[in-house]
Amino acid sequence: MKIEKVERIGAFTLRIFFQDGKISLIDFEPFLSQSRNEQIRKYLCEEMFADFRLCDGELFWNNGELSFHPYSLYVRNLFEPEPEGKLIETYQTSQHASR
């Protein structure tokens, strides 16, 4: 899944055009304002948010400091993080399997 074009239509709202013809309107403000990470919250500055790039079908800001996988945007899943501890569980399972 690739993004073909992005238009800023509001302070934190983007219109995203996907390669299969789907068009999504996504308001990023709830995601940005709910984040506890200051590196993400700084994009609540409209000037910083407006400085996004599209490269090889992926949307990012500041050389990848903030980015979203196209599929996450396609299914509008950027507001639902992975369950806490999932990566730790995967790592521990891998550790036990390799013994």
Torsion of CA 41, 17, 74, 82, to 10 degrees: -20
Task: Summarize the confidence of residues 44-71 as an average pLDDT.
Answer: 92
pLDDT at residue 52 in the model? 96
- Number of compact structural domains in the chain: 1
Which is more confidently placed, 77 or 91?
A: 77
Cβ atoms within 10 A of the Cβ of 86, count? 10
Q: Measured in Å, how far apart are the chain's first and last C-alpha atoms?
A: 37
Residue 11: CATH number of its domain:
3.30.2020.10
Q: Given a cut of 80, is residue 78 above it in pLDDT?
A: no
Structural domain including 88 reads 3-97
* Mean pLDDT, residues 5-24: 93
Instruction: Please give the pLDDT value at position 76.
Output: 76
Whether pTM exceeds 0.95: no
Average pLDDT, the chain: 80
Output the pLDDT for position 68: 87
Mean pLDDT of the 1-11 span = 94
How many Cβ atoms from other residues are within 10 Å of residue 28's Cβ? 22
> What is the tens place of the pLDDT at every residue in 26-42?
999 999 999 999 999 99
